[in-house]
Structure 1
Amino acid sequence: MQAVVVHGFISSIENSTAIKRNSDSIVEAVSSEQIGKLPGTSIADSLGRLPGLAVQTVSGRPQVLTIHGLGPDFSTALVNGGQQVSTSNNRDVQFDQYPSSWFNAVVVHLSPQADLIGQGLAGTVDMQTIRPLEKNKPEAAVNARYIWNGNSQLANGPGVSDKGYNVNGVWVDQFADHTVGVTLGVDLESNPAQIEHQAPWGYPSDPNGNAVVGGAKNYGISDTMKRRGLLATVQWEPNEHYTGTIDMTYDNFKEVQQAKGMEFPLLWSSATLQPGGTVQNGLITSGTYTNVSPVIRNDYNSTSARVYNFNWDNKFKIDENWSVDLVGNYSRATRHDVNLESYSGSGYNKSGPLDTLNFTEQSNGLLYVNNSVDYGSGTVLTDPQGWGSGNNVVQTGFINAPRTVDYLANLKLSAERDFMSGPFSSLEFGVAESTRNKTYNIDQNFLTLGGGMLDQGAVQSAPYTGGTCSPLAWMGVGAQPCYDPFAMIRNGTYTEIPVFMSSLPLPPNWKVHERDTTPYFQFNLDTQVGNVTLRGNFGMQVARTHQTSTGERVAPGSSVTGGQTQLIPVTGGTTYTRYLPSANLIFGLTPNDDIRVSAARTMARPRMDQMNASQSISGDTTHLTSTDPNQAFFSSNGGNAKLKPTMADNYNVSYEHYFANDASGYQCNAADAKQSDLCRGGGGGYIAVSGYFLKLSDFINANSAYLYDFAAFVPSYLTPAQQAQLGTTMGIVSGPTNDGHGYVKGAQLTLNLPANLISPALDGFGVILTGNRTKSSLVYAGNSNPITVPGLSKWVANGTLYYQHSGFEARVSDSYRSSFLGEVSGISASRIEQTLKGGSSFDAQVSYTFDQGPLNGLTVIAQGSNLTNKTFVTYQNNDPRQVQNWESYGRRFEIGVSYKFL
């Protein structure tokens, strides 16, 4: 029979449902609508709508995932089973680094299994590219979209725009009597964002004890991310005994931000808060500051990154019972950031005319300023607040330039023995060996106006003669000078002076090396117990890890300013073994009812920046003779190269009822069944109720301390006479330790309902609803008060209403998550935790596909995201009014076409 092909969003839903239903563990999945076209605006956007998952937005784009309430540090990402490196300074994979057009399906493993190497504590995201020999004929598609933002461009400059595009194409073909297959893909993207950004300094108390904004950094930001991605897969199956697959991907992306705005030092400065402001529940919500000396900012941020992946999978079929798989993969990421600050104002160190500023704290968290001063006149290039005086420079700017290199090599050899009878369908066993190196370095320079150091006659100000713009009109601020700071560097206006540890507690450069050996075995089940079918698996991994970290410390007596710092290498490390059993049992009560039960032990390796071996050592001569390590001569701030992984006992249970559907109605032929979960098991709707419990141990406390032997530092810090008096070489290092324990527990409900099950009149309509309730408790040693696990939202909910008929498609979606503790970028490209305000984000899509005539295969599409213009807000002290970051991204719109060659 001729196969019936299911197109569009419904095909994605049905195949995703079939992947979930046919899996031998608990998974969620998203499948492509056609080649080169995942539903949603990005991989992260698509995954964020799955049950139990949520996304965190960065610069207006969904970027990192939360699984069952646990943040990105507790999950891992794979491409075709190969573990991925990260472009961040940690392990968390930023999903906007992957073009969505590359992937045929993305499967999220919520319960572990022994043969899944590189799995995460909370979950594992496996992104799967097209296997060309699993297609029964050549296929090709081209997609093109034009992108724009509802906000007008906020900051002009090289590298940014308020318009963008995405063009991608995928081609699949087979040769040599279907023994050789090739997939080629290209993705070209220019993704714009316009960001209204505000970052209050904090909320000190006035003389009456009322909190009031102490200052604010404000920008109008124009952001553009450009990507060039390439995909190539070659598959060779010369006979039934061997299949070889080579996957190669290359992704080159650069993000540029032009950030122009103004910083208002207020109560935490020489500005004066006038009496008579409005006070509401202990917060001054409106008032007036005098003697304000603004710092006008023309900043620039860029990220340049390249990600390479190579995967070679060799499957050998020895006979009808034995098969062997040898797979090697290599993943590498390089990243270079430039974060440049440039200052101007009315005069050096508050010497120019001072301003009066009226402010109002609006109900949406925005600090609105009634200040129409034209800062374009009388402005000079200078250090308006004298920030550089402590370092003996006139600081007219600053440059942070971190570099990250991360590579991971894996080799896995496994064998599988199939059984023709008995309760076990097969036994799989093998060993995986991996090596990972990550290096982080940061260069820092002051920008000055020349003339040397401050006490040597440094130039304090220089005239400004350029143009103006109004990037902060949205918050009530008038025109300001706008210029290209790099032009100032090129023409010699700015002079760079190296600086060290200006804003960091210890030397920032580090390198982490890991060597992992993981033998494993897994029994696969497929049997019958009475009238109940039983399938699944159980087994164990044994993770043996040797980790080392290299950092630095400042040589005794060495200066930390003026670029004269002498650094001495510091190394450390540890070795550990963890036993990770797992079991997944699926009880088939009826052909449409399954109960899934999973139990496993999982782990999350430490954050790499916390493994930094660097030390900031100090000595206190008043404690020279003390024998108490808590009151010893030596103490330090630093990382902890001996950190162990966070562990979890992970339990999941799920009841799933699949609505009756007739898979034969798809008339799947043999080739279709080979390639499609839909054909193997059908893909109608379902309802699922599930619960999960993770018992956490060895949770890493970033603000802890541990005992350390400083014996190696004694000759450098003490004279022979002092050494003779030294009471102990032991001391305390303020750094992370494994002293936390707690739990995460939750329940979720999912309804995937094609409406024709209710009435034939509703054919084409459908709804997908999912709700997730999570609770957590985390306790650190010495503190009995529990806290919420970082990254956890108590409530996560998603809803999609869709309609598809005769080529026409329309859908609208809502994603909601409650407030949670997340991570944002802090000073000197560091990571800091803040409470992120929850809320809903809506998007919609409408399209039409021509299925006959000269336009057969063409789809026209229009979509919008963030249609309610949801703001990104972080706050402190459990008070949403005490905002730390406020960002508005505007609405995003796309129109485009997609053409599938038939």
Structure 2
Amino acid sequence: DFIPSEGFEIQHKGGEETRNGYMAAIEWAPTDNFRLKADGFLSRFDSKEFARGYRVKLESSQSSYDNLTANPDGNIIGGTFYRNPGSSTRVELVNDDNQDFDEVASYGLKGDWDISDNWSMSFDASYSSAESNFRNGLLWSLVAEDATVANPVIDQNVSISYLNNGLNLPNVGFSQAEAFSDIDRVMVSKYGIYPYENSDEIEAFRLDFKYQLDNNFVSSIEFGARYSDRTYSNERSVFEYGSDSGFPNSAPPLRLTQDMVEVVDWQGDFAYFPSYLSIDLDKALNAWFPSGIPQPVQSWGTANPGVINSPTPGLGPNTAWSVTESGSVFEEVTSAYVMANIDTELGDIPVSGNFGVRMVDTNQSSTVLQDVQGDPEQGAQYITDDAGLINDQFASKIIGDTYTDYLPSLNLNFKITDNDQIRFAAAKVMGRPPINRLFANANVRVSDVFGSIDEDTGDIVLTNPTAEINGSSTNSPFLRPFYANQYDLSYERYFDDTDGALVVALFYKEIKSFIDTTATRPYDFAANGFDVPTEVVVTVTNEDGLPELNSNAEPITVTIPTVNGTYTTAQNNSEGGYIRGIELAYTEIYSMLPGLWSGLGVNASYSYTESEIQRTTGNGVYTGNLPGLSEQVASVTLFWEYEGFESRVSTRYRNPFVSKQVGVNEQTVNYDGETVVDFQASYAINDNLSVLFQANNVTDAPTKSYFGDESLTGTIQYFGTQYFLGMTYSL
């Protein structure tokens, strides 16, 4: 037995971004002891991105293969795969267009009042909102035997060869390579769009007091409270037409014309990859849908078994996810704190800092559609989607969690000399999960299996012999924050003759709890209380998507068993762990240099970090590094400032690390080390107007990932150099 990859992608990606930001502030000071300030910020951010190239689907369970190559551990890293009759081994030419329209607004009102010589207070009221409309249009094309005929058929002569080359570009070969750029062979076969519409609103209020003391230890006491009310919503929708694995008569493919396409040739190190057609999405869709391009809707899908009014029961799409993954999150946070500011001496050493505690009370909840198998006693309702389909299997509920945390903290600064000081800090800290992680959208799905009849043999051909059950519960309103006790100790040396400092810092973070995502395969869904089928009935269909009929004019069906697949969960891992290390930082402006060189300076830092966490998976308990952390990170910035002109060159390095990436599912992978060079220059034309130029990743350093061993290639991505030109005008 062997398990090759599901496939691979070779693509060009790019796009353009436009951002406009507006900010205004006004301050009113009617007296010497009262100030009122109002400000507002508005930003509109639009981006258009494309992905062009090919996506390879090996479908190894259906294909023939030879010349398999494995690494020393027996993992398949290459081979040649052939399409068999009735199978789905193929190369999809992809033309994806993503559009994202975002708007962020923030408004605030703040007042400061010096009540007396000892008392002062401040209050703050704010409102912020964010809206995002992400529209990801995907266009698939397949190679036909002849795209010029009235009834084109998909090319069955498919062979795909590949050999991974570790963290270098792979060797690939395609029997259809010349056809990828031929409009007489390539036909558009499927269009899909799967938007995300998000909104996020926060109302917040804050009140703080400060009382000055007259003693030799505590200089003042501060206390206050904060309240915030947050609502987040996520709406999904979908429209699909056609097939990414064939040319059904019910959704015939689109014949391309020369004005819709452009041949793309790979350049440089990629020049040996086959050329392909880049397709203008708008022109293709206008030709395919001359009466108007259909828009996505939130729908159960006609094939969803819970739909009671489906016009084609068991046939068509099952898009229940667009309904179950739509909903809202509600978060209310009330906090209060008290803090004492220190101003004293230890012997002859001045000591400053503070100590205090903060109480944080959280109430978080989420809407959820729970599958109660249509039981009215458990709240089952008739739920109608945007297409008018009615599902009676779900109950609409709000579930959530309430918890209270107490976070003590201590900060001490010891001024050893005028140029030297030691800092110590200790605190219990928390970090909330992103708001979208609190949305309850757990689901269990049975994979779709399709059946057809082989025209040559008359045999029934299934896309898979079994239907796989997979599930996910990676988001939940019961997820708690990241908790840790952290300790920091640093020594700082400030230079006499120049502007600069040398800092040496030690840090230790005792992790108490963190959100951990794990995947178990195979997962026994039934044994763990999930109501899942042991078998499913597949309706055999023709090219039009209609049922094939037997001699009694009844639909031909095949019953196949289900098998357990992957269950991905997120939970609060209370096994804990640690993060510890040392950091060195050096900053200096060489102001002793003559003339224009007096603005020359350098900023450099280096950190060494160790981390360890304990995780439990379906394969047992193991320890590893905290995802996202590199053991060694270094940066050097050379900068120069002179008469309104500023420029800087920065180099950032991090050694290999473990983090997450999204493939077929979210995966934890290894990333190779990276060295990135950036450049920035700006010029203040006058007191009101300045211009800025940035070039990020000047050397086009790639990002490379792999699965445990470098021979198991994950991704090799060249993002190119990004250029930004901006202007700032202030009144």
Query: What's the TM-score once normalised by structure 1's chain length?
Result: 0.61
Equivalent in 480, 493, 501 of residue 657 of structure 1: 493
Task: Verify the 8 A CA contact 1:534 1:587 in the aligned structure 2.
Answer: yes
- Could you tell me whether the CA contact under 8 Å between 1:346 and 1:380 is conserved in 2? yes
Distance (Å, rounded) in 2 between the aligned partners of 1:778 and 1:350? 54
* Deviation readout 1:58-83 (Å, 9 max, x if unpaired): xxxxxxxxxxxxxxxxxxxxxxxxxx
Aligned pairs for 1:335-346 within 5 A: 335-346=132-143
Q: Which of 230-239 and 351-360 deviates more?
A: 351-360
**Structure 1 residue 245 and structure 2 residue 37: aligned?**
yes
Q: Equivalent of 2:286, from 487, 490, 500?
A: 487
CA distance in structure 2 between the partners assigned to 1:700 and 1:597 by the alignment:
28
Q: Tell me the equivalent position of 1:69.
A: none
**In structure 2, distance between residues paired with 1:298 and 1:647:** 43
Q: CA separation in 2, counterparts of 1:761 and 1:344?
A: 59
| Structure 2 CA distance for aligned equivalents of residues 445 and 397 of structure 1 | 8
Residue in structure 2 matched with residue 820 of structure 1 by the alignment: 657
CA 1:510–1:351: 2 relative to 1, 3 Å: same
In the TM superposition, residue 433 of structure 1 has moved relative to its aligned partner by 0.9
**Aligned match of 2:191 in 393, 397, 400?**
397
| Higher percent of residues as strand | 2
Aligned match for 1:887, one of 712, 717, 723: 717
* Separation (CA, whole Å) in 2 of partners of 1:761 and 1:480: 53
Is residue 356 of structure 2 the alignment partner of residue 539 of structure 1?
yes
- Is 2:165–2:713's contact at 8 Å kept on the other side of the alignment? no
Please show how residues 440-839 of structure 1 align to structure 2 within 5 Å.
440-448=234-242, 458-466=250-258, 467-471=260-264, 473-474=266-267, 475=270, 476-480=273-277, 482-484=279-281, 485-488=284-287, 490-492=289-291, 498=299, 507-554=324-371, 556=373, 565-566=391-392, 567-616=394-443, 638=473, 639-661=475-497, 684-703=499-518, 735-740=569-574, 741-755=576-590, 763-780=598-615, 783-804=620-641, 811-824=648-661, 833-839=668-674
Q: Give distance in 2, aligned partners of 1:656 and 1:581.
A: 25
CA distance in 2, matches of 1:607, 1:847: 34
Contact residue 704 and residue 737 of structure 1 kept, 8 A: no
Which deviates further from its counterpart, 553-562 or 764-773? 553-562
Deviation of the 1:377 alpha carbon:
3.1
Q: What whole-Å deviation, never above 9, does each CA across 1:23-81 have from its counterpart, x for those lacking one?
A: xxxxxxxxxxxxxxxxxxxxxxxxxxxxxxxxxxxxxxxxxxxxxxxxxxxxxxxxxxx
CA contact (8 A) 1:470 1:477 kept: no
Matched, 1:406 2:200: yes
CA contact (8 A) 2:361 2:404 kept: yes
Letter in 1 for 2:201: Y
The aligned counterpart of 2:551 is none
Question: Matches of 1:888 and 1:339 in 2, distance apart?
Answer: 22
Aligned partner of residue 487 in structure 1, secondary structure: helix
Structure 1 stretch displaced more, 637-646 or 653-662: 637-646
SS of aligned partner of 1:642: coil
Change (3 A) 1:776 1:294: same
From 113, 116, 123, the equivalent of 1:319 is 116
Q: CA deviation at 1:337?
A: 0.9
Q: Which structure dedicates a bigger proportion of its chain to helix?
A: 1
Q: Give the superposition deviation at 1:753.
A: 2.9
- d(CA) in 1 for partners of 2:154 and 2:28? 74
Paired letter, 1:643? L
Q: Deviations over 1:355-404 (max 9, x none)?
A: 44554545653335455514223335455xxxxxxxxxxxx132211111
Match of 2:466 in 1: none
Larger-Rg structure: 2
Find 2:183's aligned residue among 368, 377, 386: 377
In the aligned structure 1, how far is the partner of 2:399 from the partner of 2:716? 40
Aligned-residue CA RMSD (Å)? 4.1
Structure 1 unmatched runs, 5+: 1-206, 384-395, 620-634, 663-683, 715-732
Deviation (angstroms), 1:768: 1.7
**Which structure's relative contact order is higher, taking Cα pairs within 8 Å and 6+ residues apart?**
1
Cα contact 2:79–2:163 (8 A) shared by 1: yes
Mapped to 2, the partners of 1:236 and 1:761 lie a distance apart of 40
State yes or no: 1:300 paired with 2:97. Answer: yes
Cα distance change, pair 269–308 in 1 and its aligned pair in 2 (3 A): farther
Q: 1:243 to 1:490 in 2, by over 3 A?
A: farther
Q: Tell me what 1:149 maps to.
A: none
Superposed displacement of residue 894, structure 1: 5.8
Q: How far apart in 1 are the matches of 2:383 and 2:690?
A: 64
What SS does the corresponding residue of 2:479 show, helix, strand or coil? Answer: coil
- Partner letter of residue 633 of structure 2? V
Aligned 8 A contact 1:266 1:272 in 2: no
User: What's 1:333 paired with?
Assistant: 130
Residue in structure 2 matching 1:872, options 703, 707, 712: 703
1:541–1:259 Cα change, 3 Å: same
- Quick one: structure 1 residues 255 and 832, their matched pair in 2 at CA, closer, same or farther if it must change by over 3 Å? farther
Query: Residue in 1 aligned with 2:677?
Result: 842
Query: Is 1:221 aligned with 2:20?
Result: no
Work out the CA distance in 1 between the residues paired with 2:277 and 2:10: 13
Distance of 1:618 and 1:897 partners within structure 2 = 50
Distance 1:737 1:247 in 2: 40
SS at match of 1:591: coil
Q: CA deviation at 1:564?
A: 5.5
Structure 2 spans left out of the alignment, 5+ residues: 84-88, 146-151, 302-317, 375-381, 447-469, 532-566
Q: Deviations over 1:487-533 (max 9, x none)?
A: 35652597678566659699312321111111111111122222111
Deviation for aligned residue 1:845: 4.5
- Report the CA distance shift for 1:439/1:280 in structure 2 as closer, same or farther (over 3 A): same
Question: 1:812 Cα shift?
Answer: 2.4
In the TM superposition, residue 311 of structure 1 has moved relative to its aligned partner by: 1.3
**Structure-2 separation of matches of 1:275 and 1:560:** 53
**Residue in 2 aligned with 1:107?**
none
Cα distance in 1, alignment partners of residues 22 and 697 from structure 2: 29
Following the alignment from structure 1 to structure 2, what is the Cα–Cα distance between the partners of residues 856 and 604? 40
- The residue identity in structure 2 corresponding to 1:739 is N
Change (3 A) 1:892 1:461: closer
Code of the residue aligned with 1:818 in structure 2: it is N
* Matched residue SS, 1:252: strand
Report the AA paired with residue 595 of structure 1: I
Which residue of structure 1 lines up, in the alignment, with residue 464 of structure 2? none
Contact 1:289 1:356 in 2 (8 A): yes
Matched pairs, number: 612
Counterpart-to-counterpart distance in 1, 2:77 and 2:713: 12
Map of 1:354 onto structure 2:
157
Distance (whole Å) between structure 2 residues aligned to residue 435 and residue 303 of structure 1: 26
Three-state SS of the structure 2 residue aligned to 1:470 is strand
Q: Is the 8 A contact 2:121 2:210 kept in 1?
A: yes
The one-character-per-residue Cα deviations of 1:281-308 (angstroms, maximum 9, x if unpaired) are: 8677776555463211121111111111
- Call closer, same or farther: CA 1:226–1:863 in 2, change over 3 Å: closer
Letter in 2 for 1:646: F
Distance 1:744 1:242 in 2: 45
